Structure 1
Amino acid sequence: MDTTTPLSSEEPFIQDLKPPVPTSLLLLDIVAGGALCLALFIELPLERSSAIEVVMGILVTVPHMARRIAPKSVIVLTLVGAAGLLAGGITPGVALAASGLLSFYTIVRQLNRGAAWAAGGSVVILFPVAGWFTGVGIMSPFVLLGTAMVCVLTLLANLHLSRAEIEEMRADGLGTLREQAAMAERARIAREMHDIVAHSVSKIAVQAETAPYTLDGLDDRAKQEFAEIAAGARTTLTEMRRLLGVLRADVTTAPETAPQPGLARLPELVERHEGTADLDVVGEAVPVPQAVDVSAYRIVQEALTNARVHAPGARVSIELAYRPDLLVLRIADDGPGPSGETSNGHGLVGMRERALALGGWFNAGPGPSGGFLIQAGLPLE
């Protein structure tokens, strides 16, 4: 059983937090911001710069040191710094252009893929326009290099966004798998409880039905009470089987109009089995209730599937024994014996449920001479 405890009220918030930025990337950003600041003030000597230009120069470069921690604030500060320098008549140099490209990359990293491509395309168009307005020239190396760098940065940003989307989809998939596992566990517990309660309710029904014959001196009113108890117990068993069908969402049922197979099709089923299988009928075959007819076929079908999966090549012997009030199924193989998967598989659970749902019994385990043995008794009344 899965022992994973549910999340507390604080834990979902903790899981939603972004993972910490690696120290190596933080150091890289610090170096990049410092280098841009140094390069800018080499191009723009401090002794010839006003206080406002110095402040704007710091704003346009130094904030890049924290672009992975607070990208939106960095974008605002660097754009303000760049606007201040350009408004003061500073001619864009390599450092200012590099800062602009880094700001552009930081911006597109915050967008979705479509918006990132749109932003990149817009900037690519703006570069030649800016070159024409400033007189630098549309085909100048500065414009061509800037355009190429914007294209490269847009591509890199989209690759990052694609990887982030894949990781998000993977995380969503893992979350869905966890939910499915939890639902499967709940359904398994429900099946176990169904077996326990069904046995008790079935016992109540049997005792209520047999009480008028085993207890002397019962009046008609008492007999009627026992009959109502038995009917209520049978109704409860029916409703429990319906509830179990709802909980077991992983079972695909056939359409209502599909014909249900029965004992008459067992020879065909045995013939289709991939391996050696024998079918023996003990006693005189008599008509059986439809529920027993279908359940007996399904139990044999699932037993053959188990043998094919867990004991390939083994010989399977199937025996159908008709007794006055019981149909007994015995399916044995001469394989290596049960494994953990065989003993606890979904197929055995389904067979057991079918037998118990009809008020019968079911046993599965190692055979007396080896291999695996499945036995089930289905009442005919």
Structure 2
Amino acid sequence: MEAPPWCATLDGVRGRTLVVDAMLAGALAFIGVLGTWGAGQRPSGFKAVDGVAIGLAVVAALSLSVRRLWPLVTLTVVTLATSTYLALGYPYGPILLSFLVAVYTVARHLPLRRAAIASGAALLVLLVHLLIWSGPGLIGLIPGSAWVVVPFAVGTTMKLNRENADRARAELARKYADEERLRVAQEVHDVVGHGLSAINMQAEVALHLAERKPEQAQAALVAISRTSREALDELRVTLRLVRSAGEARAPLPGLARLDDLVQRMSETGVRVHLEVTGEKRALPTAIDLAVYRVVQESLTNVLRHAGTAPAVVRLGFEPEVVTVEVADAGTERPARFEEGHGLAGMRERVTALGGSVTAGPVAGGGFRVLARLPLT
């Protein structure tokens, strides 16, 4: 429900801000008493300061204690008190500081159109004293207007800066959320895509051997059961990373589970040969996961496009770079091919870590993926 036009919304008005405003009001009230009394010591031409003058200065100052809770009410009270003070002929004094703060608050916390109308009305009421006292006459419009124009401009500028900062933060949060959704989508794609491809291949083997070699068909069904269970477990870990923050997390897959991945592929009929060059060592978590996902997605593509063609996985550990190469000896593919979601996600994952990926058909048949990831 929209807030009434005479007050601001209560959102963001907390006890701390009310305490700060109360302290400001108290300080201005103290300054108002001393300053107004001191202003009465000026040369003649103004009405002598008395209890009414001091009372009006105190009322204007204390009304600022709720300035962010009820900006328009505060501006109305301060304007009436200040205009009455000036209309009675008292000397200019600290009461104008309260008026300045009230105009700033309206410009800072209310919509621009409403704040402009309220400030314009306050200016007209404030200048009434120029019609009562001959004093400065129309020349007094200039300094009188400044007490509205300056705080209004400052308040509006502060509000626009705050809104721009809020929009920038919201845009940044939206960007981070989109990046996180993309990361989760890539993880789910890698897990589900690999699992379903392996299950599909094993299911075809089981159907083909069901009547002629039931014992081999049963082995394929056992492999389907194990592959689906492992894929579900890994999917649960990935989803748990999204739901939990700061909780104990199950370890993500990495090179420690590469032998299990090769074993699962072998059960589908794809012979995978693993070669390691250089001194094998522990990798940073993000790189370890990226290397595993590159191998997983590449072998999944072997299942999808090369059938049971043999594949080789080469890991190279260099001082500052780790390389991953996956090549198969499948049928020859066109030199120009369309990059799917798997390869695109793999490229984004590796590029985000400062690495590079090259992928394409090999002369004479087969397909090759080569990824290089820096360790620094």
TM-score, reference length from structure 2: 0.49
